[in-house]
Amino acid sequence: LNRRLDGFGTTIFAEMSALAVRTGAINLGQGFPDTDGPQEVREAAVRALRDGRGNQYPPGPGVPELRTAVTEHQQRFYGLAFDPDTEVLVTAGATEAIAATMLALLEPGDEVIAFEPYYDSYAACISMAGATRVPLTLRAPDFRPDLDALRDAVTDRTRLLLLNSPHNPTGMVLTRVELTAIAELAVERDLIVVTDEVYEHLTYDGAEHIPLISLPGMRDRTVAISSAGKTYSFTGWKVGWITGSAPLVGAVRTAKQFLTYVSSGPFQYAVAEALRLPDAYFTGFREGMRAKRDILADGLTAAGFEVFRPQGTYFITTDIAGLGEKDAPAFCRGLPERCGVVAVPNSVFYDDPQAGRSQVRFAFCKRDDVLREAAVRLQR
Ligand code: PMP
Ligand code: GLN
């Protein structure tokens, strides 16, 4: 393993899902739903396969049907207009979008500012691009960004900000006031901002997802990333996309060509249909997930965890100090044995693992009865 990947080893998600399989424990670790997405979307994939649409290499930027559907979605939910030919790129999930964006836009030695805890691929992709990450810590209980610290962290070498909202693992959702301050800073310091919006449809309690790219001055300096995995409950399909200005999307396309060249054809046609589902799908999905959040949050509270109730995503971050525990990795390794539940230690999402030492993340994208059973086991 080269030095750029030194220390990255096996992702926590693979490790924890393997632990769940080995022990038969309820898997609240890796974030994937235990119920597949809409039947009509699955049937669209079957139709595409059967009718021979996408069974051979689709066009590099993605099939036109999907690129158009992405632009319609951006218009419908955010009033944003994009050109499907030059301002949309289909990727192999948001994961490839993040990797291709980092490889396309960063020079060795550039600095990338990201709030920690962060999704684990950020650090690895920044490192593979030869750049340096500059983490800014979000702190419990509400995990709001420190905007003064952000301003102070920008140097002459800062090339981009990598933002995630709704935020995995804390569930924090950036407000319009915060986004406005970030946009002003980006314009002032001439920064590119990459926004990971894969949980764009999962916000609760009045929190609203606002794409940074919709703010003044951001249209030409933002790469907006999303994915079908979370919104439509098909994490195995690995269809994602970016939207942004033609020069930025074109740069990312250049890198993407040499990573995967193209992404899975038949699923692209199915995701085009998913993006056009009626509004009722999105409200029902969000409402169902909010109810699941409440089931798990209440169960965890009853079991003695300190619960940081998320405003978005399908994860709950907790603190285990109140249980007399202080080492999240050890706690998570022992949890399947102790009570038949798998969770993820947040320490892996920090540059300084001490920062998240007593934090544990639980995923609630599971059937209600599974969440209730997990709560019962944890209370035991
Ligand atoms: N970003 C975040 C914040 C995530 O939680 C995930 C996991 N789904 C991804 C990106 C990767 O998305 P995908 O499965 O579409 O590659
Ligand atoms: N995004 C999911 C999570 O945070 C898992 C993605 C993965 O397994 N790489 O749990």
- CATH code of 147's domain: 3.40.640.10
Token pair of 30 as six digits = 């890796």
For the chain, give the mean pLDDT: 97
Radius of gyration, alpha carbons of the chain:
20
Where a domain ends, among 223, 249, 275? 275
Residues 171 and 311 in one domain: no
What's the CA-to-centroid distance between 188 and ligand 2, angstroms?
Answer: 34
- What SS3 state is found at 328? helix
The model's pLDDT over 245-268, given as tens digits with 9 standing for 90+, comes to: 999 999 999 999 999 999 899 999
Residues 109 and 245 in one domain: yes
Cβ–ligand 1 distance for 114 under 6 Å, the answer: no
Where a domain ends, among 243, 275, 307? 275
Listed residue (196, 177, 218) closest to 114, CA to CA: 196
| Other beta carbons less than 10 A from residue 53's beta carbon | 18
What ipTM is given for this predicted complex?
0.97
Residues 6+ apart with CB under 8 A from 221: 186, 187, 190, 191, 192, 193, 245, 248
Residues 236 and 329 in one domain: no
Question: Each residue of 229-248: b (16+ CB within 10 Å) or e?
Answer: bbbbbbbebbbbbbbbbeeb
Phi first, then psi, for residue 228 (nearest 5°) are -80, -15
Q: Which ligand is nearest to the CA of 240?
A: 1
**pTM: predicted TM-score of the whole model, two decimal places:** 0.97
Between the alpha carbon of residue 347 and those of residues 48, 141, 188, the distances in Å are: 42, 16, 33
Pairing of strands 315-319, 306-308: antiparallel
Where a domain ends, among 242, 260, 275? 275
- What SS3 state is found at 268? helix
What's the CA-to-centroid distance between 278 and ligand 2, angstroms?
Answer: 27
Residues 189 and 291 in one domain: no
The model's pLDDT over 95-151, given as tens digits with 9 standing for 90+, comes to: 999 999 999 999 999 999 999 999 999 999 999 999 999 999 999 999 999 999 999
Residues 317 and 226 in one domain: no
- What SS3 state is found at 335? helix
Cβ–ligand 1 distance for 33 under 6 Å, the answer: no
pLDDT at 1: 87
The model's pLDDT over 293-347, given as tens digits with 9 standing for 90+, comes to: 999 999 999 999 999 999 999 999 999 999 999 999 999 999 999 999 999 999 9
Cβ–ligand 1 distance for 196 under 6 Å, the answer: yes
Sign of the Cα pseudo-torsion (4, 260, 102, 212, in order): negative
The number of folded domains in the chain is 2
Structure-token match 């901002």, residue found: 193
Task: Give the CATH number of the domain where residue 303 resides.
Answer: 3.90.1150.10
- What SS3 state is found at 283? helix
Model confidence at 352, in pLDDT bands (50, 70, 90)? confident
Residues 234 and 285 in one domain: no
| Other beta carbons less than 10 A from residue 356's beta carbon | 25
Range of the structural domain that residue 318 is part of: 3-30+280-379
